[in-house]
Amino acid sequence: MEALPTRKLCSTINDCKQTAATNCEGCSQSFCTKHFLEHRHLLSEEMNVIISEHSHLQHTFKQSIECDLHPFVKQIDEWEKESIVKIQQKAEKLRQELFQLISIRNNEILSILQQLSEDLNENRKNDNFIEMDLQQWKITLENLKTKLDSSSTTFSFDIHDDLPLVQNISIIFTIENELFEKVFDNIVQIKQYGQVAIHDTSYNYTEVRGKNEYTTGHHKIRLYIEQSADKWTFLGITSKSILLQKQSTNSKSSYGWANNNYFLLNGECQLNRSSPRIEMKTNDIITLIFDCDNHKIFMINERTNTKYELIVNINHCPFPWQFHVNLYEANSCIRILSA
């Protein structure tokens, strides 16, 4: 005789002795009707929490767009005010200096004119002059004319390029919101709004590209290696001008590191001869740093606590740079974490 299937009990934590009537596909637990409805109700409540968190986040985000509340706006305003005050103070000081110098010059001319007029009057009255005196007075008058000419070289501007009155500032923009955006072919799928890149079950090279463009400043991307078999996973950069390719690391613009202990420099794949090995194992967290200003990229493995550095030749890899991944292994998977 065939054995009857054993009676399965409801698996709710409330010690229910009822026979299980249905199975939840999501968590593989069996429930009686009453507790199945309760189970669904709990899941709905969790869903409601997620929806309300989402709308709260959306609201906060919209508010932040509406008003210019970025802390930098305040700093720029302060810099503007301080700079204007410095310029106004300097201009006032220069004006006062100029008025003083003009008044000194005017007094000088006035005094010469007075002396000269006394001289001339006196000597004419007494008819006391000869050619030599006339010549002297002519020279004195000529000199005075030159002094009165405002375009003369009495005053000039001295410009100090080396000592700026106002500090020149610029914003170093750090992009930390990288996402996967493009793939060469459908061997790799981009999932979860660009946060995950996952290779199919074949062994084939293909390129994945990030959405951002890096031209100036210092940028960080944190990655979680969800799946890797230590054969070939490449992380690094390439120039935006290079089209996506299957074997993208063959391009001269490719700079970065592969988990089989190779690095890519000036278009050449080179074995890492220094220790420790370049590793990107399953569950490793990798940070990539793009230092555009100094033409350098860095890779940090948080587990091994090692940092690798590459100097980028801008002729080979012109700006803007892009985050560049090349996957090969079956099921290999990388997730972008928030930095």
27 lines the binding site for Zn ion (CB under 5 A): yes
Q: Nearest Cα to 258, choosing from 337, 331, 191, 324?
A: 324
Closest approach, Cβ 28 to Zn ion, in A, equals: 8
Encoded one letter per residue, x for contact with Zn ion by CB under 5 A and - for no contact, window 250-269 reads --------------------
CA distance 297 to 256: 8
CA torsion sign for 35, 41, 42, 43 is positive
CA distance 6 to 308: 60
CB-nearer residue toward Zn ion: 11 or 189: 11
How many of the chain's residues bind Zn ion (CB under 5 A)?
Answer: 9
- In angstroms and rounded to an integer, the radius of gyration of the C-alpha atoms of the chain is 40
18 lines the binding site for Zn ion (CB under 5 A): yes
Token pair of 244 as six digits: 């996506």
79: number of Cβ within 10 Å:
14
16 lines the binding site for Zn ion (CB under 5 A): yes
Closest approach, Cβ 226 to Zn ion, in A, equals: 24
Strands 233-239 and 255-258: antiparallel
Among 21, 24, 144, 196, binds Zn ion (CB under 5 A): 24
CB-nearer residue toward Zn ion: 19 or 177: 19
Closest approach, Cβ 250 to Zn ion, in A, equals: 49
Q: Applying CB under 5 A, which part among 10-18, 80-88, 216-224, 331-339 lies near Zn ion?
A: 10-18
**CB < 8 Å & 24+ apart, contacts of 295-298:** 297/236, 297/237, 297/255, 297/256
Residue type, 164: P
Closest approach, Cβ 30 to Zn ion, in A, equals: 9
CB-nearer residue toward Zn ion: 27 or 73: 27
CB-nearer residue toward Zn ion: 35 or 219: 35
141 lines the binding site for Zn ion (CB under 5 A): no
**Contact yes or no for 299/256 (Cβ under 8 A):** yes
- Return the H-helix or E-strand segment holding 287: strand 285-291
Q: Applying CB under 5 A, which part among 6-14, 97-105, 280-288, 315-323 lies near Zn ion?
A: 6-14
Residue type, 101: L
**Contact yes or no for 269/255 (Cβ under 8 A):** no
CB-nearer residue toward Zn ion: 27 or 171: 27
Question: Rule CB under 5 A: which of 29-58 touch Zn ion?
Answer: 32, 35
3-state secondary structure of 200: coil
10 lines the binding site for Zn ion (CB under 5 A): yes
**Contact yes or no for 261/324 (Cβ under 8 A):** no
219 lines the binding site for Zn ion (CB under 5 A): no
Q: Nearest Cα to 282, choosing from 217, 333, 324, 206?
A: 333
Among 26, 60, 125, 128, binds Zn ion (CB under 5 A): 26
19 lines the binding site for Zn ion (CB under 5 A): no
CB-nearer residue toward Zn ion: 8 or 90: 8
Q: Applying CB under 5 A, which part among 17-25, 48-56, 70-78, 133-141 lies near Zn ion?
A: 17-25
Specify which residues 191 forms β-bridges with. 196
Closest approach, Cβ 53 to Zn ion, in A, equals: 21
Question: Under the rule (CB under 5 A), what is the footprint of Zn ion?
Answer: 10, 12, 16, 18, 24, 26-27, 32, 35
